[in-house]
Structure formats: C-alpha cells, structure tokens
Amino acid sequence: MKLLGFERRRKAMYDHIVLPVDGSDEATAAAGHGLALAATFDATVSVLHVVERRALRITATNDERTRLRSRGEAIVDEVSGLAADAQSVTTDVAEGTPADRIAAHAVDRDADLIVVGRQGATGLGKRFLGGVTERLLGRSATPVLVVPGADAAADADYSRILFPTDGSDAAPPATHHSAALARVSGAAVHVLNVVDLQAAGGVFNAGGLDPEFVDRLERRGHDAVGAVADELGETAPDVEVHTAVERATPRGSVAARVRDYVDTAGVDLVVMGASGRSNRNRQLLGSVASTVLRTVDVPVLVVPPAS
C-alpha cells in the first residue's frame, strides 16, 4: 500500500503494529491505545513479551524458567483478548534484552510502528532515563509511539497534533507521519518552532542580543514552520494547519515551551523527528525530545530518519 505518493519506506501508514507488554498497568493501557490505532488503520498487530536475560540468569531450575515463560504467555494472551473481534492479532514471548528484542522483532515483522508505555513494571518509568523505553528509542529503526500513564486514553481519537520543528533533516519523515495521522483522524496539525535565544547567544548575552540577530533567528523559525506547512499543503491539502513561532522564556527551555503549548492548545498527540546521527541514543538523553517525552501528558510519536 502507498500513502500520498510516497514509497513504502517513506509511507506513514501503519499496516503492522508491535505492542510490547510487561504486565504493568501502564503497558496494558498503552497496548489498548495501540489496538485502537490499529483498528483505525486496519493494521495487524503483534503483542510481544520479552523475558529478560538477567531474570533467566538467576533461575535455578527448568521449572522456574518455564514459569517465567508461562507468565509472559499469560500477559500477551490477556492483551490480545482486548482486541476487537475483527482484528488480526498474534502473540509472541521472546528472551533477551527487552529494547534489543523489541527493535529486532519490529524489523523481523516489517512493522510500521511500536507502541509502548512510558513506564513499566521495573519502576524505572518515573525516572524514565535509563528505562527500556528510552533504550528502545535509541535503537529502533521503527517509529515509536510513547503513551504516558495507566490512565491513557483507550482510543486514538486525535483532534490536535503538535509537530515541533527546528528545520533540521529530522523534519521530513515526521511530517509524513503527521499528515497520515491527521488525515485519518481529521485532526488539525500545529507546527511550532521555539526560538531559544539563550542557547543561540550564550548565557551572558541572554536578554541583550542584537535585535537584528533576534529577527534573523525568528525568520529562520518562520522558514522552518513554513516549509512543513507547505509540505503538508501539498501532500494533505484537506488537513487544517496552524503555524507558530515562539520564544523560550529566559528561565525556561524549548521543551518547557512545547509543554506549555500542548496544555494551552489542547494537543492530543506530539510528533517529533529523531536525530539521524550515529550517537542518536546519547543525543536523546538530555535533549528536547527526551524532556518532552518525560513531561507531557499526551502520547508522543518519535520518528527516526527515513521512516
């Protein structure tokens, strides 16, 4: 299948979705959200549980190993039971390092999307940093939708989608996903650029930058959101598009401004492009994307390059 004239590797339609689960309320809620999204796109679904290698290492008997796998099978069966009667759902229990196995499973199944909870059974979710979800974001060549909290909406009914952009090469793939989701859900897309004057001018120049320099930064911001809006207009002319260029507050950050926009505009979904550099995992740590992922209360879709 093709979408908007793009070849399959660039399409933003979801034919197969992977739902990793660990038995936690958060993972189950994320899986419910993923099942709803799969129903919207008429996608097939893989429900996956990974028995952690470190858990297997401390087992003393074959019976203990069997119980670990049996628990995993019960978890995936419970989630598959949430699917609608017409949905095509398969289940699998794998062994290994969760982030690596999830990423590999998505590639093996030629999946278009992975849907995960922001926190899981390990308790690392409140910190987020160092958890399975973040490691997955650093390894996955497949787009990852991160769903926050056990109270996440069971539907995927988006009315406002926010696409923050800095004009980098990460924008085009994320633009395609924003267009596809907006067209299917009937959502409006808000394209936002946040001008970070402190980062641009250094902490000692913050608030005292030359007006022409500030104007130049804001023009670049308008160029960035304008390029995305033009692309959306060409590929999804029926989608309502809003653009905004705002400044980060002197004591705030780009991520904080994005979070404020989510709250004030009533955004239901954030779509962000990931870096294409080889040290993407380290870049995500401490980056705008990482902070947004930890702090907003709506799902965030992270789109890697060439997705």
Domain limits, the chain: 8-147, 160-303
Which regions of 53-99 does DSSP assign to beta strands (E)? 89-96
Alpha-carbon distance 14 to 45, whole Å?
10
Q: What is the pLDDT of residue 56?
A: 62
Q: What is the pLDDT of residue 128?
A: 37
**pLDDT band, very low/low/confident/very high, at 132 (cuts 50, 70, 90):** confident
Alpha-carbon distance 300 to 137, whole Å?
12
In this structure, of 5-14, 60-69, 130-139, the range with the lowest mean pLDDT score is: 5-14
Phi/psi for 64 (5° steps) reads -65, -40
Mean pLDDT of the chain: 83
If we measure between CA atoms, which residue out of 28, 300, 306 comes closest to residue 181? 300
Q: Which residues pair with 89 in a beta bridge?
A: 45
Query: Would you say the CATH fold of 160-303 matches that of 8-147?
Result: yes
CATH superfamily name and code, 160-303: HUPs (3.40.50.620)
**pLDDT band, very low/low/confident/very high, at 129 (cuts 50, 70, 90):** very low
In this structure, of 128-132, 157-161, 180-184, the range with the lowest mean pLDDT score is: 128-132
* Lookup: tokens for 15: 């034919």
Task: Return the HEC string of 246-295.
Answer: EECCCCCCHHHHHHHHHHHHCCCEEEEECCCCCCHHHHHCCCHHHHHHHH
pLDDT (tens digit per residue) in 232-290 = 999 999 999 999 999 887 666 889 999 999 999 999 999 998 865 444 443 343 378 88
Cα–Cα distance list, 204 to 39, 198, 247 (Å): 52, 8, 17
Q: Are strands 113-117 and 144-147 parallel, antiparallel or unpaired?
A: parallel
If we measure between CA atoms, which residue out of 175, 156, 140 comes closest to residue 37? 156
Q: Are strands 300-303 and 269-273 parallel, antiparallel or unpaired?
A: parallel
CATH of 8-147, one of 3.40.50.620, 3.30.70.260, 3.60.10.10, 3.40.605.10: 3.40.50.620
User: Contact at 8 Å (CB) between 270 and 300?
Assistant: yes
Query: Reduced to 3 states, what is the DSSP secondary structure of residue 46?
Result: strand
Alpha-carbon distance 132 to 26, whole Å?
13
pLDDT (tens digit per residue) in 94-122 = 988 899 999 999 999 999 999 999 876 55
Angle at 300 between CA 21 and CA 223, to 5 degrees: 155
Q: What is the pLDDT of residue 86?
A: 85
